Amino acid sequence: MPIRPDTPLADIPALSKKLLGQLDKLGYRDAGGLLAHYPRRYEDRTQFDAFPADETAVPVCLRGEVVDTAKRFFGRRRIFEAAMEDPEGGGLGRITLRWFNLAYIHRLVAVGQEIVVYGKVKLSGRRLVIDHPEFEALEPPAVAALDGPAAAPELVHLSRITPIYPLGEGIGQRPLRNALYQITADLDADAFPEILPAPSGRATAVTRATALHDIHFPGSEEELDRARRTLALEEFFGLQLNVARRRAQHDALPGAVHCGPGELLDQLLGSLPFEPTGAQRRAIEEVRADLAAGRPMNRLLQGDVGSGKTLVAVAAIALAVESGCQAALMAPTQILAEQHHLVLSRWLEPLGIRVALRTANTRRGAGGDDLPLFESDPPEVLVGTHALFYGSVEVGDLGLVIIDEQHKFGVAQRGKLIGRGPCPDVLVMTATPIPRTLTLTVYGDLDVSVLDELPAGRGEVVTAVRDARKKTREATEFLKGQLEKGRQAYIVYPLVDDSEKLKAKSVEGEFERWAERLAPFKCDLLHGRIAPEEKEAIMRDFRAAKTDVLIATTVIEVGVDVPNANIMYIYNAERFGLSQLHQLRGRIGRGAHKSYCVLMADKPGAEAAEKLRVLAETDDGFEIAEADLRIRGAGEILGTAQSGLTGLKLGDLVTETDLVQQARDLAAAVVADDPELAKPEHRHLRGLLVDEDEAAGVVA
């Protein structure tokens, strides 16, 4: 029967009731949904690997016969073993397969079975073993036919590039493969309209129906690559279509000029005790041009830690306020908001610009006085947290909104602030450099300014990885030596309290120990559960050098600027993300003193060790961001449920910048021609659009 995307799986005769029930539990009820359940890898079963005589550095795919099975115990662990031999090796080639604490495996693997296994071979004593291999028993045709179409098993499962699928509970590899073989063999090509615009100039001319067939059952590596790139381009196009529409909708909003003549800016730059970098001057001019234009600015300012984004923000505020409007700067935490309030007050007060702080616990003017609930003469600049969204905050003519660490805010939060009256100009900032592919996708609706230079006069930062279990005495002595020279330090832990479940240390658990070790130097404790007023007092003492060592959680990740602090110990460093470690390290090296960041690790795994190695070898935030994307993937970095990347199953944001750019060009052309996707040839693309109401919590 011809298969369409909406064909119910229950209408396909070859699918057993048992399999239909299992697929229904996973949410698969029609052919289109199941076709999007792509293989996670493939095995070339036109030829199998030879049985190895030694360990293998990479997984191998072997076909053999089970000649023996046994149940064993190793301590409390139950082990099921199966010995597999090469049927053509005369009994010489033998691999032992082992499964730990998986009692049901003995029901699936039996002597006399022919099986295919996939895994990495290692030596265990004198035996070659594969622990927890992927495996598939090759049943005779009569058994296979009970769970699917009566095609010869070698046609579906062997003698081909064979798809290996992610499996849900109770679903076997063979019946699922049989089901998809039946579906892809009978696709109604006309029922699968092309998503990519034609002519697309794309890398492949494969139709959508052909791509869907070949992604499951390719006839060659070339067919598989063409199918995957075609479907990956479709995924990227769906993302870019949403980005292009979002950009077009923002550009269509009524804007206004929010740029003064520049006299305040000249005063600001003339009063600086340092020379702005070329990147800062370039970014200021880009922002100035946006403020002077009639359309609303929507710009992303990204730069490494310490690259001077705050100066660009202050310059934008000076230009906006001079035009007669108000400006607001929003930060994700109270500590960061207070830091910005101090810095902005120091730079803007001499220009006659009043700055007020608005957080959930603080309503303070530049002079430190409490402000009345309602103000007849509101300040020109508001600095705050999400409290800017609520209550009776008086915003008159809000012309400029600056959002720091913007990835920590949701679209709904940002929109609520922007939506208070006529559309203001928006500048969003991040100290987390963003890889190019993510800039083109998640942040593709924003113009981008990049600060790729660091100001002069910064001290060198030395980063090293150490074993936390062995270096306590050396760490203490080195730290004391720096404190005796008048420096200050951070000691960072991942937890507030000790945990029985997590093998990690906490600030509460370690504070007294450090206070005793470092006496007579003064230590203080800082974490998220401390009351805001107390946090502020603790940070004030640290900035004033009344406290020598701050023992803290990641609340110091952003916004803490103490040039005299030149030591940072990060314990359980393997538990932190790469970009987060880089952000933490950015709290030191902000003065002229040589600084030291020591990553105290406790038995890091392979991925964690690679992460720490990257951090120790480079301080380039953009290089670190690319490495983080390569190691963890975009979904882990941004959170797929919050980043708009849930549709990416085949597209690789690490390596396929060319496809991302191609999709961006295609989407931009479609939206420029038909912003509402109202033309008949574009109506089917509406299904690719994200519902903005549903996406209100999406981080962007």
pLDDT of residue 214: 96
> Which pair of structure tokens corresponds to residue 94?
């033998």
What is the CA 466 to chain-centroid distance, rounded? 27
* Lowest model confidence (mean pLDDT) among 116-120, 196-200, 262-266, 307-311: 196-200
What domains appear along the chain, each with residue ranges and CATH number?
Answer: 44-141 (2.40.50.140), 230-252+646-697 (no CATH), 263-293+308-430 (3.40.50.300), 461-638 (3.40.50.300)
Q: Which residues, 6+ apart, have CB-to-CB distance to 339 below 8 Å? A: 331, 559, 560, 561
Please state, for a pLDDT cut of 90, what percent of the chain lies above it. Answer: 43
Q: What pLDDT band is residue 640 in, cutting at 50, 70 and 90?
A: very low
pLDDT of residue 546: 95
Higher pLDDT, 194 or 212: 212
Do residues 230 and 689 make contact, with C-beta atoms less than 8 angstroms apart?
Answer: no
* Among 380, 596, 640, 392, residue whose Cα is nearest residue 491: 596
Please state, for a pLDDT cut of 70, what percent of the chain lies above it. Answer: 86
Do residues 68 and 44 make contact, with C-beta atoms less than 8 angstroms apart?
Answer: no
Do residues 22 and 170 make contact, with C-beta atoms less than 8 angstroms apart?
Answer: yes
pLDDT of residue 390: 56
* Among 591, 518, 586, residue whose Cα is nearest residue 551: 518
* Among 107, 133, 129, 105, residue whose Cα is nearest residue 119: 133
Instruction: Give the 3-state secondary structure of residue 183.
Output: helix
pLDDT per residue over 399-444, tens digit each?
A: 999 998 755 555 555 555 565 556 889 999 987 777 777 888 777 8
* Lowest model confidence (mean pLDDT) among 164-168, 364-368, 480-484: 364-368
pLDDT per residue over 654-682, tens digit each?
A: 788 889 999 999 999 999 999 989 998 88
Q: Is the pLDDT of residue 147 over 70?
A: no
Do residues 517 and 475 make contact, with C-beta atoms less than 8 angstroms apart?
Answer: no
Higher pLDDT, 150 or 124: 124
Which DSSP string do the residues of 267-296 spell out, in sequence order?
HHHHH-SSPPPHHHHHHHHHHHHHHHSSSP
Q: What pLDDT band is residue 699 in, cutting at 50, 70 and 90?
A: very low
Q: What pLDDT band is residue 327 in, cutting at 50, 70 and 90?
A: very high
Mean pLDDT, rounded, for 256-261: 93
pLDDT per residue over 592-617, tens digit each?
A: 889 999 999 988 888 889 999 999 99
What's the half-sphere exposure (Cβ side, CA atoms, 13 Å) at 374? 1
Q: Is the pLDDT of residue 520 over 60?
A: yes
Q: Is the pLDDT of residue 392 over 60?
A: no
pLDDT per residue over 292-305, tens digit each?
A: 998 889 899 998 87
pLDDT per residue over 559-573, tens digit each?
A: 678 889 999 999 999
pLDDT of residue 374: 41
pLDDT of residue 415: 58
DSSP structure class, residue 301: E
pLDDT per residue over 329-352, tens digit each?
A: 988 888 788 888 988 999 999 999
> Which pair of structure tokens corresponds to residue 637?
């970095």
pLDDT per residue over 25-82, tens digit each?
A: 888 999 999 999 999 999 888 888 889 989 998 889 899 999 999 988 877 788 999 9
Separation of alpha carbons 404 and 70, rounded Å: 61
Mean pLDDT, rounded, for 149-156: 55
Strand 326-330 vs strand 134-137: parallel, antiparallel, or unpaired?
Answer: unpaired
Do residues 532 and 359 make contact, with C-beta atoms less than 8 angstroms apart?
Answer: yes
Do residues 440 and 567 make contact, with C-beta atoms less than 8 angstroms apart?
Answer: no
Q: Is the pLDDT of residue 370 over 80?
A: no
3-state helix/strand/coil string of 43-92:
EECCCCCCCCCCCCCCCEEEEEEEEEEEEEEECCEEEEEEEEECCCCCCC
* Among 105, 66, 70, residue whose Cα is nearest residue 84: 66
Q: Is the pLDDT of residue 149 over 80?
A: no
Separation of alpha carbons 575 and 504, rounded Å: 8
Mean pLDDT, rounded, for 112-119: 89
Separation of alpha carbons 300 and 194, rounded Å: 34
Neighbours of 181 (CB within 10 A): 20
pLDDT of residue 171: 84
Q: Is the pLDDT of residue 549 over 60?
A: yes
* Among 320, 321, 337, 339, residue whose Cα is nearest residue 329: 337
Average pLDDT, the chain: 84
